[in-house]
Amino acid sequence: MDDNMIELRNVTKRYGPIVANANVNLSVRRGELMTLLGPSGCGKTTALRCITGQVTPDEGRVFIDGVDVTDVPTHKRELGMVFQNFALFPHMTVYENVEFPLMIRRVPQGQRREMVMDALRLIRMESYAQHYPRQLSGGQQQRVGLARALVYHPKVLLLDEPLSNLDAKLREEMRFEIRDLISRLGITALYVTHDQAEALALSDRVAVMNAGRIEQVGTPDEIYESPRSRFVADFIGLSNFIRGKVLAIERGMAIVAVNHIKLMVPAAEGTQVGQDILVFIRPNDVRLFPVDFAKAENTFEGVVHKLTYLGDTIDYRVIVAEGVQIRVQTDGKVRFNAGEAVKVCLPEARCRVILE
């Protein structure tokens, strides 16, 4: 038996001609914090609503803790959820808001009080018990939202863009608070967001979604270092894509021809000789050297076309062979000027093959 707390198996959901979820497979392991990352309209909300039961998939099944809940109504799924706009009940005090799930479950009065106060203590809001939501700041409201979701010890915690209504500084603080809280409680959590920095900072694993499909699932590290598609690479950070043709594969290294130059790149699974591929490398992995620098792996001559000073880094556009422009970000220790000839190094280990 696998130890998945949440599992979407071949879930498809259509709205008329629009396919919101196309054969989505997703599993969140027990005790893990997984992020569902994607641009707005990519289907992540639909996937979340399939888990909560607000949406019934056209095809496929939904499992929670190994039980098929596809036909179980929302209120019987034992979930905790935090909302983007907090969704605190405005006619109830903080205490009553947190008490609500317990009241619904008919938890005895004495125990109820204890559980509510425990939950409020967890988020350091005990002194606000008698306040109404509108008397609280956004960050406080979201903390109460967390308490309400956690108070009855649900099997899993769902977070739907919980930080996007907060200002930047608060967002960062809350990010760590949520991470800390979830690790401390050891609860399984699925975190939906469109903010890649949030996803990378928070999660054990990230699932990147695009156009109704899951593009890639992996640790933040894997997603960032070895994106499997152009979309994932682009969405997660700055990228160079260099179009080329595979000439040969030797000992796991593909030799890729790009115009006049040849690149050595670790071959991805399924790479074939003669195939058109993309070579991917992050701008801050590219090295720049003075033009008289001794030859090394994947090093070519180029000309600095344009540079932008960004404070702690400098952003260069270097033209290598005709038409191939590479973006490079370096720390400001060695400077090159626009028009200057340079050597560009794409370290083999940092390059990836992306099949299209």
Partner 1 sequence: MSHFTNKRQNLITFLLLSPGLAGFFGLFFYPMLVTLFRSLRPEGQTSGWTLGNYAAFLSDPDFRGIIWLTFFLAITSTFLSILLSVPLALLLRRKPVGHRLFRLTILVPITVPGLIGALGLLLFWGSRGWFNLLLLQVFRLKAPLTINYTLTGLVIFYVWHYFSYTAITTLSTLEGLDPAFEEAARVAGATPWQVLRYIVIPLIMPGILSGSVLTFMAAFGAFSIPLITGGNYRPLSVAIYKQIGIFIPARWSAASAMAMIMAALQVVFLIFYMRILRRPMA
Return residues touching partner 1 (CB under 8 A): 52-54, 73-81, 83-85, 87-91, 100-101, 103-105, 132, 148-149, 152, 158
Nearest distance from residue 106's CB to partner 1, in Å? 10
52 versus 284: smaller Cβ distance to partner 1: 52
Q: How far apart are CA 296 and CA 176, in angstroms?
A: 42
70 versus 84: smaller Cβ distance to partner 1: 84
Nearest distance from residue 71's CB to partner 1, in Å? 16
Nearest distance from residue 167's CB to partner 1, in Å? 20
109 versus 337: smaller Cβ distance to partner 1: 109
Nearest distance from residue 162's CB to partner 1, in Å? 12
74 versus 111: smaller Cβ distance to partner 1: 74
Q: Pick from 159, 12, 187, 185: which is nearest to 83 by CA?
A: 159
Nearest distance from residue 128's CB to partner 1, in Å? 17
In the chain the beta strands, taken as DSSP E runs, fall at: 4-15, 18-29, 33-37, 59-64, 67-68, 79-82, 156-160, 188-193, 205-210, 213-218, 240-250, 253-258, 261-266, 276-281, 287-290, 299-309, 313-319, 325-331, 341-345, 352-354
118 versus 234: smaller Cβ distance to partner 1: 118
Judged by phi (left if over 0) then psi (alpha if -120 to 50, else beta), residue 53 lies in left
Q: How far apart are CA 261 and CA 181, in angstroms?
A: 51
Nearest distance from residue 166's CB to partner 1, in Å? 16
330's tokens: 């370096």
83 versus 293: smaller Cβ distance to partner 1: 83
Q: Pick from 162, 148, 145: which is nearest to 104 by CA?
A: 148
79 versus 307: smaller Cβ distance to partner 1: 79
Neighbours of 227 (CB within 10 A): 24
Neighbours of 137 (CB within 10 A): 10
- For residue 303, the cross-strand partners are 319, 341
Nearest distance from residue 32's CB to partner 1, in Å? 20
Which residue carries 């196309």 as its tokens?
A: 22
150 versus 181: smaller Cβ distance to partner 1: 150
Residue 312 and residue 331 in contact, taking contact as beta carbons nearer than 8 Å = yes
Nearest distance from residue 34's CB to partner 1, in Å? 18
Please name the residues in contact with 125: beta carbons below 8 A apart, sequence gap of 6 or more: 94, 140, 143, 144, 147
Which residue carries 């606000």 as its tokens?
A: 128
Q: What is the DSSP code string of 181-242?
A: HHHHHT-EEEEEES-HHHHHHH-SEEEEEETTEEEEEE-HHHHHHS-SSHHHHHHHS--EEE
The SS3 call for residue 156 is strand
148 versus 350: smaller Cβ distance to partner 1: 148
Nearest distance from residue 165's CB to partner 1, in Å? 11
